[in-house]
Amino acid sequence: QSVLTQPPSASGTPGQRVTISCSGSTSNIGSKTVNWYQQFPGTAPKVLIYGSNQRPSGVPDRFSGSKSGTSASLAISGLQSEDEADYFCSAWDDSLNGWVFGGGTKLTVL
Amino acid sequence: QITLKESGPTLVKPTQTLTLTCTFSGFSLSTSGVGMGWVRQPPGKALEWLALTYWDDDKRYSPSLKNRLTITKDTSKNQVLLTMTNMDPADTATYYCAVLYSSSWYEYFHHWGQGTLVTVSS
Q: Which residues of A touch B109 (CB under 8 A)?
A: 35, 37, 45, 47, 90
Question: Tens of pLDDT along B10-43?
Answer: 999 999 999 999 999 999 999 998 999 999 999 9
- At B95 the pLDDT is 98
Res A80 pLDDT > 90: yes
- At B104 the pLDDT is 85
Res A1 pLDDT > 90: no
Res A73 pLDDT > 90: yes
Q: What share of chain B is helix, strand, coil (3-state, %, to 5)?
A: 0, 55, 45
Q: What string of pLDDT tens digits covers the 122 residues of chain B?
A: 999 999 999 999 999 999 999 999 999 999 998 999 999 999 999 999 999 999 999 999 999 999 999 999 998 899 999 999 999 999 999 999 999 998 888 999 999 999 999 999 99
Q: Which residues of B touch A52 (CB under 8 A)?
A: 106
The verdict on A54 touching B (C-beta cutoff 8 Å) is yes
The verdict on a CB contact (< 8 Å) between A37 and B109 is yes
Res A42 pLDDT > 90: yes
- At A17 the pLDDT is 98
Q: Which residues of A touch B33 (CB under 8 A)?
A: none
Give the torsion through C-alpha atoms of B109, A107, A20, A14, to 10 deg: 120
Shortest CA distance to A61 belongs to which of A45, A46, A78?
A78
Res A78 pLDDT > 90: yes
The verdict on A36 touching B (C-beta cutoff 8 Å) is no
